[in-house]
Every structure is written in C-alpha cells, then in structure tokens.
Amino acid sequence: MDDLPPSLVLEILNRLADSADLARCRVASKSLNVLSREVRSVNLFCSLDRYLKSRAVETRLLVMPFKVILKSLMNDFVALDSVSIGVEKSLGRISYWHDDVEDWSDDLFLTDVGFAREWLPAIGRGLTSLSIVDFWVQSCWRQSKILALITLCCGNLQELELKNAWLSVDGLNRLNSLKCLTLEFIRLDDEDLSEVNYNFPHLEILNLIGVGGLNEPKIHLSHLKTCRWTVSNAPVSLSICAPSLSKLELKCVKPKSLIIQTPMLSDFHFCLQDASGLQVNEFPCLRKLQLHFPCLYSLITTFSSARTIKELTLNTMQRAESVESVKLCLDTLFEIFPNLSFLKLGPGVFSEAETCYQAEGLDERIGMRDLKKIHASLETYKVELKLPFIIPILEKCTDSLDMELLIYHNADSHLAGGIMSKRAVNHPRPKWRWELWKEGLKEPWAKGI
C-alpha cells in the first residue's frame, strides 16, 4: 500500500463500507493513519453482537462504549461530507422486555442532542448527507431536539435520514439546501409536520415511513417530486398538495379523508384497506398506476376514466372470494383503462378475473388490441385448468403481445412446459415465460418458448 499514489489510497479508503475498517487501517501504517483523516464519509453501526457483549457481565468491561468511538472518530477528520451512524437492523428485535435491556441506559441513544453537540458543530458545515438510525428502546421515551441542532450546524445539508426516534421541532431553522428527507419509525406531535413543510421548503424527495402521533397531517411542498408515505394504523385525515409531484407511493389503512392535489402525478402506488367514501380526482398526467386493495372492483370504479394510464398493476391483500361478491372482470378493466400497454395481475386478481370470465365470457375490447405485455401470477399448481381462460386472452390480443406467467412453486414444470409447447404451435404470437414463484420470490426454471 505504501507504494501506491496517495490519491489512489485515499480513494480506496473512501470506498470502505464500514468505518471500523478505517480505524484498523490507522494502526496498520503511518501513511494510512495520515490519509485516513482526509476521507469524506463515515459509516459506523453498532451490531447485535457488540450490543450483547456490552451487556454481558463477563465482557462488558472489555467493550468500549459506542458513543465514545463515534465521538473520537468524528473529531478526527478534516473534510467529511457524509455521515451515517446508528444501530444495525438486528437490534430492532430487542424490546423493553429483553432481559439485557435497562430502560435508563443511553449508550445507544444517538439522537441525544447533548451527545451530538460534542461532534456535530465541528463537521456540520461541510456535511451534505447525514443519517442517524437510533435504538428505539432507548430513544422512544426521550424526546430529542436533534433537528434544531442539525438545522443550526448543517447549513449545506442536502440529504437527511432519521430513524427510530421521538423528535421535537422546537427551534427549527429554515434549511433551504435540504432536498431529501427520510423519517422512518418517528414519533412526532400533531402539528410538527407543518413545521417540516415550512422549514424545509425545497424538498424534492420526502419519505415518511411509520411516522406516528399525527391526526391531520398535511404535506404542502411546491418543489416535491417524489414522495413515499406509509401511514400508521390510526385513522387520520391526509392531505397532499404538491404541484410538482410526479411519483407517489401511499400506504394507509382507512383514512378519514384523503385529499391529493398533484396535477403532475405520473406514477402512483396506492395501498389501502378501506376506501369507503373515497373519491378520485382526475390525474391528467398519470401513466403508471399500482393498486393494492382487498376489493379492487370498488376501488377502480372510482376512476371514472383513466385514458392516460399505460401501465397498470393490481394486487389484492387477501382472497377476493372472502371479501366481496362483485368480481373484477377484464372487460371492466379495459372499459376504465382503455389505453393500457402493460398489465400486471397478482394471483388473487387473476383468479377473480377468471371467475368472472367463466360466468360472463370475454368481450373483444378495443383496448386489448393495444396491450403489449401481460404479467400474471397463477395461484395453482394445476396449470392446465387455467388454459381455457388464458387462450381467449391471446386470441383477442395482437401478434405483438408478450405474456409472462408465473407458476405456483409446486407446479409440475415438465407438465407445464409440455402443455405450453403444444399451445405455442397453435398460438405462436405470445412469448411464453414460465417461472416458479414462492412467497413473492421468483425461481426461474425456463425462459421463452
């Protein structure tokens, strides 16, 4: 390593995924020790193994406190622009009732503003990215004012990620540089989201995952382009006003009310369990739509007309037979979405459409002629029973149709392949792709016939 140019060594050090390796490099040689202080990013996470050793009687005195390591690292760099610290996902399994947990401990309470004051002011001005993943057991009952400190010290910050904490918005400063904000498993008070809207006005990406404590949350950001919002189980009134938003992923249970004012929306992922009283406004730019809902028929019929949508994905949360009597028919789909080029059907949706076909048949909708690809998951290992529904679809589509079917993992692959080989002689148009699937994973065993 001593023979390599310093610039190349520094580039290697900058690419280390774990800053614990950086500390090891410091004791390896004098040149590495000097160059290590010029790296631009720090990534250090406490593992479950380290946590358990710090609690065990026989090893606790041998483990240096995690906060001590972090503070010594942060105060030993000259050009940091990215910091990512926290606890690993494995520590999420630890609860209050774990034998080794002491409720009053704070050695992994990383959003502790007193601890952050010992290192953040020295490096904050140069930071463009900051991520802190806290230890929920120690942070959930301690409200932190870390946001105010971050907005005070990090005037050039562009990306901020905070997880597993109870945050206060008191004392926030306006941070015009921030473009991306992620809050995951965060507790806020009811009016705190309005402070986020005001103090981070130039956000372009916003991720709110499991943010609790909000009754009437409102997102009002004029520059927002991408938003992922997963709402907790409590029924709330949701409002999104984002004139520049192009992609929205929204997951909720049963909102009291839902207002979405996003005229530029082109990609919409929508997952909910109850849509009682839901009214859908026109989305003039919508091209891609994904719906995940127990009663798809009642949901898609709220779209009075969706001629702009080219790609449609439908999934059910449970078997449709146990939810509603009105089945979702392909005829209904192509009446509401007449200009589809791509259609993806989950296993429950495919079975529901098949049941409707058995009762009512299948009309030759004009929209089916524009269809370029169908992706469907079959919820059975008796593949031959699905052919009476599959073949009429092929006959009503054009020669350019590409059909991809995922077979249930217990299906006889040789039987399925033999059936489709014979059918391909009579129906050469589709490009058959049969793959095995299990619990959402695909295990391909054969490609196009």
Q: Which residue range forms the structural domain that includes residue 424? A: 372-449
Provide the edge-to-edge strand list for the sheet that holds 257-261: 218-220, 237-241, 257-261
Q: How far is CA 96 from CA 104, 140, 166, 246, in A?
A: 11, 11, 16, 41
Domain boundary among 325, 341, 370: 370
Domain boundary among 370, 405, 422: 370
DSSP 306-318: -TT--EEEEE-SS
Confidence of residue 206 (pLDDT cuts 50, 70, 90): very high
**Do 310 and 394 fall within a single domain?**
no
% of the chain exceeding 70 in pLDDT: 71
Residues 6+ apart with CB under 8 A from 379: 347, 348, 350, 351, 408
Q: Is 343 helix (H, G, I), strand (E, B) or coil?
A: strand
**Do 362 and 378 fall within a single domain?**
no
- Predicted model pTM: 0.85
Strand pairing category for 82-87 and 237-241? unpaired
Burial 380-405 (b: 16+ CB within 10 A, else e): beebeebeebbeebbebbeeebbbbb
Domain boundary among 343, 370, 397: 370
| Residue 112 is assigned to a structural domain of this protein | no
Beta-strand ranges (E) seen in 15-69 are: 41-46
| Residue 432 is assigned to a structural domain of this protein | yes
Q: What is the pLDDT of residue 389?
A: 78
**Do 275 and 321 fall within a single domain?**
yes
Q: How far is CA 218 from CA 151, 254, 443, in A?
A: 21, 16, 42
Question: Do the Cβ atoms of 204 and 226 come closer than 8 Å?
Answer: yes
Q: Which has the higher per-residue pLDDT, 418 or 368?
A: 368
Q: Which has the higher per-residue pLDDT, 206 or 318?
A: 206
**Do 288 and 351 fall within a single domain?**
yes
Q: What is the pLDDT of residue 231?
A: 86
Q: What is the pLDDT of residues 134-171, one digit of tens each?
A: 999 999 889 999 999 999 999 999 999 999 999 999 99
**Do 331 and 355 fall within a single domain?**
yes
| Residue 80 is assigned to a structural domain of this protein | no
Q: What is the pLDDT of residue 431?
A: 54
Q: What is the pLDDT of residue 263?
A: 92
**Do 363 and 384 fall within a single domain?**
no
| Residue 351 is assigned to a structural domain of this protein | yes
How many Cα atoms occupy the beta-carbon half-sphere of 379 within 13 Å? 16
Number of structural domains in the chain: 3
Give me the chain's average pLDDT, please. 79
Q: How many CB atoms lie within 10 A of CB 13?
A: 21
**Do 293 and 343 fall within a single domain?**
yes
Question: Do the Cβ atoms of 246 and 226 come closer than 8 Å?
Answer: yes
Cα–Cα nearest to 269, from 242, 248, 293: 248
Q: What is the pLDDT of residues 82-113, one digit of tens each?
A: 999 999 988 876 765 455 555 578 899 999 99
Q: What is the pLDDT of residues 270-290, one digit of tens each?
A: 988 776 656 667 788 999 999
**Do 365 and 379 fall within a single domain?**
no
Q: What is the pLDDT of residue 155?
A: 95
**Do 353 and 386 fall within a single domain?**
no
**Do 398 and 343 fall within a single domain?**
no
d(CA 286, CA 308): 6
Cα–Cα nearest to 242, from 256, 255, 228: 228
